[in-house]
Amino acid sequence: MGKGESIFRRRKNAPPQLLPPPSPPEVDASTGNFNNSVVAGGIGGAATGKALVGKKKPGGAAKLWMRFDRTGHSELIECDKSAIIKRVSIPARDLRILGPIFSHSSSILAREKAIVVNLEDIRAIITAEEVLLLDPLRQEVLPFVDQLRRQLPQSNTSNNGTGQVVAQDEEMQSLMSGQWLPVPEAAEGMRAELPFEFQVLEIALEVVCTFLDSKVVDLERDAYPILDELAINVSTKNLEHVRSLKSNLTRLLASVQKVRDEIEHLLDDNEDMAQLYLTRKWIQNQQSEVLLGAMVSNSIVPAGTRLQRLNSATSGSLTINHLNDHDVEDLEMLLEAYFVQLDRTRNKILSVREYIDDTEDYVNIQLDNQRNELIQLQLTLTIASFAIAVETVIAGIFGMNIPCSLYNIAGIFWPIVWGTTAGCIILFFLILGYARWKKLLGS
């Protein structure tokens, strides 16, 4: 018992064990950021933008995203699907569209608070305040990142700090009165600046169209020499080059066609284009909340006054809905510009394909001509073989060991040989003339 007490006292007086350090913090569901994150420089050590990289959750499927806000500030964040879904309020199936399974598809989906963009290698989620870009460090995505960094700060230099809040307050007040803010007329007659989501969408379309157009230029530069060489010399090597060329052309045409069809789908439906106007929906939601708050706060006002205010609010909403057509026109003009550019790119590809088809037809004509010449040669040789076979039959008949009175005539051998040969030659030309008469042989 005394020994047990000594052991117990020794353990009791021993220093406490050090606990292991706590696990790294999880992703904040409200913001999508990580606590205790490491701040580093932007891509390639760029001066603008900062990188906010968090630690991965054990066993989680966190991916690298780049965030751009209205003012052009950028940061790298690492988030999983649940954090992105809570951040931008989109269904989980939209994130599957941005996954590797649909990497070669093109889509522009409008949601309540976001636009899901999947155009070639650009996979992004655009909201009224920011854009989240998936896999920003890929070589194919870097031109889009550079364009965002160059164009967003230039178009939003005045939307920082208090100026942004004041501008939003003025816009809210103008909407409350059913009027839009006056558009400042520039000396060059430029139209009003597009909303943030349209600016990002325009940059994405510009990068994609430029990329596809450059691919078409490379295709044209490589295609015409290869096709001209094939027209001169039909060889296995040249045919292999044309086969590879046609494969590249088919893939490029499919990419251009998918982006073009997606823009055409949006142009055919005004409701889909109206859903892309995230800034307008955000302002209208704010307006509805302000009107609802005003009605609740003024609930003690008589019914007649409330009815009058409700009618004025309804008229203001009708004014906003009436102005929606103009906003759709702005987006329609934007999409039509890139639709025309894609259509021009598609026509270039079709021109190359027509040149390929023409070259293949020319090569087939050459091969058919050679095949016809071989057939004619084969027919001529067959006629000659038949004439020679007749002389061979005559020689075989005379070579038999049969008694014949011609054997007793002196000097009869050569006249028979030359006579038989002349007859075979005459037979050859007769059959050849018949074949030409029937147009079985060329002239």
3-state SS class at 248: helix
On whether residue 36 sits in a domain, the answer given is: yes
3-state SS class at 153: helix
373 and 325, same structural domain?
no
On whether residue 159 sits in a domain, the answer given is: no
52 and 174, same structural domain?
no
Q: Which of 367, 387, 418 is the last residue of a domain?
A: 367
Distance CA 172, CA 279 (A): 12
pLDDT tens profile 278-310: 888 778 777 777 777 766 666 554 544 444 444
427 and 299, same structural domain?
no
What pLDDT is recorded for position 206?
93
Q: Which of 367, 399, 418 is the last residue of a domain?
A: 367
On whether residue 214 sits in a domain, the answer given is: yes
105 and 48, same structural domain?
yes
What average pLDDT score do residues 195-202 get?
Answer: 89
352 and 225, same structural domain?
yes
Distance CA 270, CA 277 (A): 11
What pLDDT is recorded for position 298?
63
353 and 417, same structural domain?
no
231 and 112, same structural domain?
no
What pLDDT is recorded for position 33?
45
State the CATH number of the domain containing residue 224: 1.20.58.340
pLDDT tens profile 396-430: 887 787 777 877 788 888 888 899 899 999 999 99
On whether residue 15 sits in a domain, the answer given is: no
What pLDDT is recorded for position 352?
94
Q: Which of 315, 343, 367 is the last residue of a domain?
A: 367
What pLDDT is recorded for position 342?
94
399 and 334, same structural domain?
no
pLDDT tens profile 164-180: 434 444 444 444 444 43
On whether residue 7 sits in a domain, the answer given is: no
Query: What single string gives the DSSP state of each residue in 314-361?
Result: HHHHHHHHHHHHHHHHHHHHHHHHHHHHHHHHHHHHHHHHHHHHHHHH
238 and 113, same structural domain?
no
On whether residue 239 sits in a domain, the answer given is: yes
383 and 259, same structural domain?
no
According to DSSP, the β-strands at 50-53 and 38-41 are: antiparallel
425 and 360, same structural domain?
no
Domain range for 39 is: 25-153
Domain total of the chain: 3
On whether residue 122 sits in a domain, the answer given is: yes
What pLDDT is recorded for position 154?
52
Mean pLDDT of the chain: 75
Question: What's the Cα-to-Cα distance from 241 to each of 30, 229, 253, rounded to whole Å?
Answer: 54, 10, 18
pLDDT tens profile 79-97: 888 888 888 888 888 888 8
State the CATH number of the domain containing residue 50: 2.40.128.330
On whether residue 395 sits in a domain, the answer given is: yes
Encoding tokens for residue 50? 């900062």
397 and 304, same structural domain?
no
